[in-house]
Amino acid sequence: MSSGKTRVKICGLTRPSDMDAVAAAGAAYSGLVFFARSPRCVTPEQARAIALAAPPGLARVGLFVDAGDAFFDAVLAVTPLDFLQLHGSESPERMAELRARYGLPLIKAVGVADADDLPRLTDYGRHADMLLVDAKPPRDAALPGGNGLAFDWRLIAGRRWPVPWMLAGGLTPGTVADAVALTGATQVDVSSGVERAPGDKDPDLIRRFCAALA
């Protein structure tokens, strides 16, 4: 499933009906958040019901932040996932451990605020299967992502890394086409930009976001 030439990930689903909306809009990826401080956090049992609503071809991504093996085990014992998205300070060694333990491809989120952050994308690109280029959260932010913040897209315009990458950070139905045009991104990720309130996805905004890239 895809939306035009640009593949879309809708992250932070909290209900099976959200998955129905994501599928209907033609997104390629769906995201489930397993981070207790997030308003989009779901339990493994809730996540299972949402994940099972995905039609064939719609990838299910689990978002984790510096989680231990016991927590990964508990989630994956009940929730079918196709990717693990790492949104913390996971080291290359930890990433290798997770890949060996679970056999799932890894998406590594890297926050960008200025040019000094760009080398980390190259470094992590040697160890991840995909990169998620996100806005770097403020120092006092409670969440490592999903803050609705954008960064200066000109920083990554025309750049390439060792693995495929996805653009995130403050995207909305009104800005995503410009962001893709400027950066050359072939994949994008959105969470707060398609919500009525934190954790409350709006099917119409999801449809409009995907339609903006058709």
Q: What is the mean pLDDT of each run of 10 residues along the chain (214 residues)?
A: 74 98 98 96 98 98 98 98 96 96 97 93 95 82 58 90 94 96 95 96 98 94
Contact 11, 190 (CB under 8 A): yes
Contact 4, 214 (CB under 8 A): yes
User: Global pTM?
Assistant: 0.92
The whole-number pLDDT of residue 1 equals 42
Q: 41 an active-site residue? A: no
Candidates 18, 134, 189, 210; catalytic one: 134
Q: 134 an active-site residue? A: yes
Contact 104, 82 (CB under 8 A): yes
Domains of the chain: 7-211 (3.20.20.70)
Candidates 11, 18, 189, 210; catalytic one: 11
The whole-number pLDDT of residue 142 equals 54
Name the nearest CA neighbour of 147 among 190, 115, 86: 190
The rounded radius of gyration (Å) of the Cα atoms in the chain is 16
C-alpha to C-alpha distances, 87 to 1, 9, 187, nearest whole angstrom: 25, 15, 17
The whole-number pLDDT of residue 178 equals 95
Name the nearest CA neighbour of 22 among 32, 12, 30: 30
Contact 116, 138 (CB under 8 A): no
The tokens for 93 are 């060694």
The whole-number pLDDT of residue 5 equals 81
